[in-house]
Structure 1
Amino acid sequence: MSLSGRPGHFGSRFHNRLYALLGLDYVYKAFTTTDLAGAIGGIRALGIRGCAVSMPFKEAVIPLLDALDPSAQAIKSVNTIVNDDGRLTGFNTDYVAVRRLLTEHAVDPATPCLLRGSGGMAKAVVAALRDGGFRNGTILARNTQAGAALAERYGYAFATDLDGRTAPLLVNVTPIGMDGPDADALAFPLDAVAACAIAFDVVALPARTPFLVAAERAGKSCITGHAVLVLQGLEQFIRYTGVTPTPEQVADAAAYART
């Protein structure tokens, strides 16, 4: 199951497709709630195997759990709960997915990065970068308190506006470019995109944001939010079931979930 302030359909379709492909007797359902403690108690009492957690519950759920995996402990944010005979452990598979993608794309940890955003997902991305050895970073955020605190925690610089800044690795962790009112906006201006080497956008819908389209046209290496979404969902699936799907099954489920 999943708990979210605004439930979507990708997770349900992705997980249920994999259950069908693998012949597993599981079902994944999305819910919202105004009683978080009651919902978590229900997971424990009913023996629900696992639960994805989205905003605004990622931090509020922590006191209701029995333990935190290092992936969640590092950033005090949970996006996955696993129930082992009534013992609930919180994980953060966003963190795991970002670290894996940086490795898969062979991004050199010596690469300076400029990250835009300071919300819950930004915490996971910054922690993954820092733990992956990325020491030279700047956080750009309009929220001075949150941005400065995040930068200080991980030893990064902080700025409230771009002021001509760029870096070889640009990372967008804001809703800019997401389907909705900011769908046509660029997370970074074209001159910054032209000067970078790698563009990383955690926005999953659409998979090709204006920022990534501009980067592709400029011949830059790109990492998509859709890839983060699929990998973090795969990590959840493995933790819930103990089964690792084939790459072909994952690709099938991801394509199915997009429709």
Structure 2
Amino acid sequence: MKPLIGRETRLCMSLSARPGNFGTRFHNRLYEATGLDFVYKSFSTTDLPAAIGGIRALNVRGCAISMPFKEAVIALLDGLAPSAAAIDSVNTIVNDDGVLTGHNTDYGAVVDLVADLDRTMPFVLRGSGGMARAVAAALHDSGFANGTIVARNEEAGRALADLYGYRWSAEPGEAAPLLVNVTPLGMTGADEAALAFPGEMIARCEVAFDVVQYPPETPFLRAAAEAGKRRITGTEVATLQALQQFVLYTGVTPSAAQVEEAAAFARANP
């Protein structure tokens, strides 16, 4: 049984421009399941340096970092783990007695999710931001050598493509077996009705990978399901990266059943 919150309770948190509940519910559910004396809370801030100073001053054990802070936070940390240093993007901070180290568990989650795919499979990745860098790095380091980065921002798109030896395109064009959406297209809000890739590209792909977490079923994923394609979802990414954060913060690896139950709880209580 999880201890009552007291002076020995360790705090973990998240910083985001638009905080969600998945991470909060996932982590706290796992603390209950494993009996750990931890609590997790999400926060928003407009003063990143002060927030990071608060992590040091209050000895917050760990902090998840979301957009738009994944790059800006680097200058405020004491060091980077290889997963973050390779792509200059941080989504996780671990505090070891005042020493703040940045990690990127998005990268690790994607590596795990594509582990059984054919490495010779060409792909088209749409996006050029911090999460797109994590996904592109994970694909590259997993052995995917034939890829196209689609980004309207030519400078950012070309830079990401050149970094890993991929091609750049301003718009989706040629079909590919693996399609990866790392943009807000299909996300709850202004772009929720948008299809990340044209229907003809989806019809000709083998695997549809969408990192958008909300809604769980984006137009891209629905179209892929209707076409009978294999899907990798944003919920899977969110669960795996949050699990890796949990292990970094606590040193405890929960059982597969505990992770599945916590993820189901977080999805059912958005």
TM above 0.5: yes
* Matched letter for residue 131 of structure 1: D
Which residue in the other structure is 2:249 paired with? 240
> For the residues of structure 2 that align with 1:187 and 1:157, how far apart are their CA atoms?
19
- After superposition, what is the alpha-carbon deviation per residue over 1:235-254, rounded to whole angstroms, capped at 9, x for unaligned? 00000001111111111111
Which residue in the other structure is 1:76 paired with? 88
Pick from 19, 34, 48 the counterpart of residue 7 of structure 1. 19
> For the residues of structure 1 that align with 2:225 and 2:68, how far apart are their CA atoms?
33
Superposed displacement of residue 196, structure 1: 0.6
Which residue in the other structure is 2:10 paired with? none
- After superposition, what is the alpha-carbon deviation per residue over 1:144-196, rounded to whole angstroms, capped at 9, x for unaligned? 11111111111100010124x11010001111111112212211111101111
Residues 14-25 of structure 1: pairs in structure 2 closer than 5 A: 14-25=26-37
Pick from 13, 24, 49 the counterpart of residue 61 of structure 2. 49
Which residue in the other structure is 2:164 paired with? 154
The yes-or-no answer on 1:202 pairing with 2:211 is: yes
Which residue in the other structure is 1:229 paired with? 238
The yes-or-no answer on 1:122 pairing with 2:135 is: no
Which residue in the other structure is 2:259 paired with? 250
Which residue in the other structure is 2:202 paired with? 193
What is the Cα-based RMSD across aligned positions, in Å? 0.9
* Matched letter for residue 218 of structure 2: T
> For the residues of structure 1 that align with 2:99 and 2:55, how far apart are their CA atoms?
10
Superposed displacement of residue 138, structure 1: 0.3
Superposed displacement of residue 35, structure 1: 2.1
Question: SS at 2:134's partner residue?
Answer: helix
Pick from 70, 73, 78 the counterpart of residue 66 of structure 1. 78
Pick from 94, 118, 140 the counterpart of residue 106 of structure 2. 94
> For the residues of structure 2 that align with 1:8 and 1:109, how far apart are their CA atoms?
34
Question: SS at 1:29's partner residue?
Answer: strand
Question: SS at 2:31's partner residue?
Answer: helix
* Matched letter for residue 133 of structure 1: G
* Matched letter for residue 89 of structure 1: T
> For the residues of structure 1 that align with 2:43 and 2:208, how far apart are their CA atoms?
33
Which residue in the other structure is 2:146 paired with? 136
* Matched letter for residue 68 of structure 2: P
Runs of 4+ in 1 over 4 A off after TM superposition: none
Question: SS at 2:72's partner residue?
Answer: coil
- Give the length in aligned residue pairs: 256
Question: SS at 1:98's partner residue?
Answer: helix
> For the residues of structure 2 that align with 1:68 and 1:150, how far apart are their CA atoms?
20
Superposed displacement of residue 34, structure 1: 2.2
- After superposition, what is the alpha-carbon deviation per residue over 1:182-224, rounded to whole angstroms, capped at 9, x for unaligned? 2122111111011111110111111221111111111111100
* Matched letter for residue 134 of structure 2: A
Identical pairs, percent: 65
TM-score (norm 1): 0.97
- After superposition, what is the alpha-carbon deviation per residue over 1:42-97, rounded to whole angstroms, capped at 9, x for unaligned? 21122111000111111111111111000000100000000111111100000000
Structure 1, unaligned stretches of length 5 or more? none
Which residue in the other structure is 1:107 paired with? 117
* Matched letter for residue 181 of structure 1: A
